[in-house]
Structure 1
Amino acid sequence: MLTSDDLAFFSVLTTSKSLAESARKLNVTPPAVTQRLRALEEKVGVRLIDRSGRHLRLTEEGSLVASHSVIVSDAIDSLTEALADRKGAVRGHLRVAAPHGFGRIYVAPVVEAFAREHRGATATLQLSDHPTALIVDSYEVVVHIGASAHLDQVVTTLAPNNRILCASPEYLTSAAPITTPADLARHRCLVVRENEEDVTLWRFKGSRQESATVRVNPVMSSNDGAVIRDWALAGQGIMMRSEWAVAEDLAEGRLRQVLPNWKLPSADIVAILGSRHGRSARTAAFLTMLRQSLKPLPWSADPAEKPGQ
């Protein structure tokens, strides 16, 4: 009869490329892993893993055991979480995904603070160019900038974030004047291609709520927002970026806002919650810490809104 320990052991094997890798994960020697696998196969009476090649390959019976290992492991994790939540304990493994730039600057420090404060929990932060393209239910929290396409998921707003049109003083001094959005069609524009959004169609709302749309023809584009910022700082053209990414450059005069009387669609910072983990104590604790870290807004251009002011 297989035990939960047997299934946990086999689950490690199925997520490893070799027995040596499994041994490292289990903190035992490779011969110990081989011996335990042999004992497990003797217990069930069938071969579970084909070890003839360079990589581990599940047999048909091994795939069956692996699928049940996941079910049992999830059930044990859910029970453990439920019992911990009853006591208000923050335990288990927190899985967070976030965009590269924002995640590195604003999310990573909070994950570190969470792990330091809650010693009974562990944490993983996955930084990605497209965090929402990941399997959302594999994470407790997916931090996203802008509207979410996951309409069936729980989405909570963490902080407001405006989009800003800006360029270097050098570019604006030498270029033709920009008084209306239509003028942008004749300017050098830089765009970030981060997702399936139509990034060359720029939409504006005027001070009298009038709308304007302009199709720009980008002279340079990249999937990395930091690269676009560097190009704008070098005087290559006009870019649209989130306020959090350019607030310091604007405050220091390295960039200037273009068409300040025209507003772009906002791109609020939101958290998409995995359906299985949305109410766990560790998720609630992490979201509280993340919200606190963003209040007041660390990138606000208003000195009165700065932390410690």
Structure 2
Amino acid sequence: MPEVSAIDDLEFFVTIARSPSLTAAAHEWGVSLSAVSKRLTRLEARLGTQLAQRSTRRLSLTEAGGRYAEGATKLMEQRADLEDSMSTDHSEIHGRIVVHSTMGLGRAHIAPLLGEFARRNPGVQTELTISDRPFNIIGTGIDVAVRVGQSPDSRLKMRRLYTNTRIVCASPGYLARHGVPQTPEDLAQHNCLILKENDNDYALWRFGLGDDQRTVRVTGSLGSNDGDVVVNWCRTGHGLILRSSWHVTPMLASGELVQVLADFPRPPADIHAVYSAAAHQPQRIELLLEDLRTGLTERLDAANVDKT
């Protein structure tokens, strides 16, 4: 990473905006906290307004900071597009892409696919941010967010990458000890493992499609924000889980887990890419979206072969 003084104000503040604290931004650049703090103070003085409320542990944008971050992100995209168009080698794309994904999907599939994308497109600097919850990518410098389910922000575009659903399942040992639930209401008598992966009501499990939906509030002795942790608890007989089919299909195929309540359909939970609603997308973004779609289809369909 270049010295913080060599980074232009737009890139500097976009990175600040997507960081949870000044300390995190300093770590990303490999510079001191004081260097980042002084640079931000100088930028605010030049603009004549406060851009962020901050301490060493926490940072939040002011209204002016949010507007500046959103505008800076758009200008950086336009600059990258211009530089792409000036390239004499039109067979190679250039620029930078920042991708966000939730933890389980990011580690298992998005990270390997980005590695393959980078190998095919060495002129693109690709960065992956992984966290336990979806990001609102506006004004954060994130170009593409890969998430399960719908985007809550109508200002963004969304493209389906893979058709997915959520499945209720348990280990054979758990079901032998506690019985098999026959209806969603039976879940009240079971230990349900809670995945706290996003901002939804974690303990509210939904069944049905369209207007014919019902919800069941579940309880359990174990919960985590990491899907792998919850799945491993399920595999070792601690309870029932509600988990994306992409994650548990191999374990269902091997018999390590058993699906229950299969006669009660679940609302779709497709894997989507969320990105800017700009009329023109940079070529590198379009190529990445297509690579993610084809790559996820190949990887996840291969995992489904043994089950079907």
Shorter-chain TM range is 0.7 to 0.9
Instruction: Report Cα offsets for 1:103-145 as digits up to 9, x if no partner.
Output: 1111111211121111221111111111324546512211011
Residue 38 (structure 2) pairs with residue 57 (structure 1): yes
SS of residue in 2 equivalent to 1:249: helix
Secondary structure of the residue aligned to 1:272 is strand
In structure 2, the partner of 1:101 is: 104
Which residue of structure 2 aligns with residue 178 of structure 1? 181
Give the 3 Å change call, closer, same or farther, for CA 157–283 of structure 1 in structure 2.
Answer: same
Q: Which residue of 2 aligns with 1:261?
A: 263
User: What is the SS of the residue equivalent to 1:132?
Assistant: coil
Q: CA–CA distance in 2 between the matches of 1:95 and 1:54?
A: 24
Work out which of the residue numbers 219, 225, 228 in structure 1 matches 2:227.
Answer: 225
* Structure 1: gaps of 5 or more residues: 1-6, 27-50
Aligned to 2:52: none
SS across alignment from 1:114? helix
Partners of 1:195 and 1:72 lie apart in 2 by 27
Q: Distance between the aligned counterparts of 2:173 and 2:37, measured in 1? A: 58
Q: 1:190 to 1:115 in 2, by over 3 A?
A: same
CA distance in 1, matches of 2:12, 2:150: 39
Identity of aligned residues (%): 30
Q: How many residues align?
A: 271
- Larger CA deviation: 211-220 vs 108-117: 211-220
Question: Among residues 230, 233, 236, which one is paired with 1:234 in the alignment?
Answer: 236
Contact preservation (8 Å) 1:136, 1:142: no
1:160-209 CA distance string (max 9 Å, x none): 11100000000101113421111111111111112221222222229xx9
**1:225-253 per-position Cα deviation (integer Å, ceiling 9, x unaligned):** 11111111111111100001111111111
Aligned residue in 2 for 1:289: 291
Distance 1:55 1:138 in 2: 17
Pairing partner for 1:203 from 187, 197, 206:
206
Matched with 1:163 is: 166
Give the Cα separation in 2 of the matches to 1:275 and 1:210: 32
The letter of the residue matching 2:44 is S
Are the counterparts in 2 of residues 158 and 294 from structure 1 also a CA contact under 8 Å?
A: yes
Q: What 5-or-longer segments of structure 2 have no aligned partner?
A: 17-21, 49-67
Following the alignment from structure 2 to structure 1, what is the Cα–Cα distance between the partners of residues 40 and 254? 62
Change (3 A) 1:60 1:297: closer
C-alpha separation between the residues in 2 aligned to 1:227 and 1:59? 39
Tell me which residue corresponds to 2:82: 82
Letter in 2 for 1:295: T
Tell me the TM-score normalized by structure 2.
0.74
- Find the aligned partners of 1:305 and 1:249 in 2 and give their Cα distance: 10
CA distance in 1, matches of 2:91, 2:141: 23
Give the TM-score normalised by structure 1: 0.73
CA displacement, residues 1-31 of structure 1 (integer Å, 9 cap, x when unaligned): xxxxxx855648887989xx89x879xxxxx
Aligned counterparts of 1:241 and 1:64: Cα–Cα separation in 2: 49
- For residues 166 and 123 of structure 1, the distance between their equivalents in structure 2, rounded to whole angstroms, comes to 36
CA deviation map 1:14-69 (0-9, x unaligned) = 87989xx89x879xxxxxxxxxxxxxxxxxxxxxxxx9x787524865534589x9
Which sits farther off after the overlay, 231-240 or 86-95? 86-95
**Which secondary structure does the structure 2 equivalent of 1:57 belong to?**
helix
Q: CA RMSD in A?
A: 3.9
Residue 124 of structure 1 is matched in structure 2 by: 127
- CA distance in structure 1 between the partners assigned to 2:30 and 2:233 by the alignment: 43
Report the 3-state secondary structure (helix = DSSP H, G, I; strand = E; otherwise coil) of the residue aligned with 1:205.
strand
Moved more, 161-170 or 228-237: 228-237
Q: Distance in 1 between matches of 2:229 and 2:261?
A: 23
Relative to structure 1, the CA distance from residue 268 to residue 59 in structure 2 (aligned partners, 3 Å threshold; closer, same or farther) is: closer
Structure with higher Rg: it is 1
Q: How does 1:62-77 map to 2 (within 5 A)?
A: 62-65=43-46, 75=75
